Amino acid sequence: MDLKEIRIKLDEIDSQIESLFEERMRLCGEVAEYKLATGKAVYDPEREAEKIKALTGMANGEFNRQAVGELFLQMMTLSRRYQYQTMAERTKRPDLGFRPVRELDIKGKRIAFQGLFGAYGHAAAMAFFGRDADIYHVKRFEDLMEEVQEGRADFGVLPIENSSAGAVTDNYDLLVRYPNFIVAEIFIPVNHYLLGTQDAELADVEMVYAHPQALMQSSEFLNARRSWRQVSMENNAVAAKKVQEDGDKRQAAVASEIAGGLYGLKPLAGPINNSRDNTTRFLILSRDPVYRAGAEKISLCFELPHTSGSLYNILGNFIFNHVNMRMIESRPIQGRSWEYRFFVDIEGHLEDAGVINALFGIMREAKNVKVLGNY
C-alpha cells in the first residue's frame, strides 16, 4: 500500500474506534446509574489493575503491552470522569459548609498578624483593612491561628508565598491543623533594607538578624560579605527591635523602612533583596466559611498515597472539567512515610459546574479533602 492507501485504512480504523468508544461510554453511563442506586464506589483500583493486567497480556511485544496499558488506563480514567459527571448531575450538590456573602464585613473587626508592628504582616493588615483598623500582633503563627479560631480575632493575616523564596511551607500545615478559612488574599511588595543603629556604618556590621525568608531573599548581598554572621529570627520586626534594644552598632537587621522608622534605626544599605520584583502573598483568614459573589480562586488540599499515577489521576479531574490550576505545593504527612498532602489553587467559583464536577471526583478518590476557601 502507498501512503494514501495507508491513511485511508487508518481513517477507517479510527472511525471504528470512535464508534466503539461512544458505545463504551454509553455503557459507563449505565454503570453510573447502577452505582448511584446501590451506593457502590466508582473507583475500584483493584478491579482496574486486574483489567489492565488482562488487557496487556493480550498484546504482542513489549511496546504494545506498554501502549495498551496506557491506553486503557486513560480509557478507565475517562470512564470514571463520565460516571462522576453523571452522578453529580443526579445527586444533591455536596455541602462544603460555605455560605455566600455579598461583601466581607470588615468594619469594626479585630485583625491579628504575627510579629511586631512594622512587620510585613502589619503592612498587609493595614493595606487590606485600613490604617485605622483594630490591628494587633501575636508572637507565633500558631497563636494567630488560635486567635482566629477562638474568636478573639475576626481575621488573621498569614504569609503563604513569596515570589523570590517560594512557599512558607510550615504555614501550609497550619491551614490543615486549624479550622479557619481563606476569605481573601493580598500581595505586598517587599523591599528589604539593612538597618543599623544611628551611630553605625556599613563597615561596623558583624551580625545580621532577620527572618529566614528575608535572609534567603537577600542572599546575594549578604553572602558577598562572608565575615558577617547571619542569625534567624521569628520575624523581621523582631530583629529590628532587638537591634534597637541592644544598641550595638555591630548588629544590623533586615527589615522594611517602616520598621526602621518605628524602631529608630537607619538604613545602612538597600533595597538589598535579590529581586526588585519581590512580593509576598498574604492570606486573609476567618473562622467563618464564606465566599463573595465575585470570588475567582479556590484553595483546597487532599492526601494521596505514594503510588504511581495517584497525583495524575486526581489532577485529571481538573483537566477533564476545564478547570485551570494556578499552583500546587506538596507537604509530607507527619507519621506516614512517603505519603503527601497536596495544596492546590484553581480558578473558579464553588457554584461553577466544572468546579463542582472536579471536586465531586476528587472527594471520591483522594483522602481528607478540605476546601480551604473561595476568594
**Strand ranges inside 215-292, DSSP E:** 229-232, 251-255, 266-269, 279-286, 290-292
Neighbour tally for 60: CB within 10 Å:
8
- Please provide the DSSP assignment of 42-65 as one string: S--HHHHHHHHHHHHHHS-SHHHH
**Rounded-to-integer distance, Cα 240 and Cα 110, Å:** 25
**CA–CA–CA angle 146, 151, 157 (5° rounding):** 60
Which amino acid appears at position 224 of this protein? A
The packing angle between helices 62-90 and 310-320, to 10°, is 50
Strands 290-292 and 99-101, bridge-based pairing? parallel
Q: What is the largest CA-CA distance in the chain?
A: 89
Using a 10 angstrom Cβ sphere, with 0-12 exposed, 13-18 middle and 19 or more buried, the burial of residue 248 is: middle
Alpha-carbon gap, residue 256 to 302, rounded angstroms: 36
Q: Identify the CA nearest to 162 among candidates 28, 38, 281.
A: 281
Within 8 A by CB and 6+ apart from 254, the residues are 192, 193, 194, 195, 208, 209, 210, 211, 214, 215, 218, 222, 236, 239, 272
- Give the residue from 240, 215, 213 showing the smallest Cα distance to 119: 240
Positions marked catalytic: 280, 282
Q: How far is Cα 343 from Cα 304, in angstroms, rounded to an integer?
A: 11
Reference 243, options 212, 198, 273; nearest CA is 198
Q: Please, how many CA atoms are within 13 Å of residue 210, restricted to the half-sphere of its CB?
A: 29
Q: Which residue's C-alpha cell is 472511525?
A: 15
Cα separation, 35 vs 45, in Å, equals 15
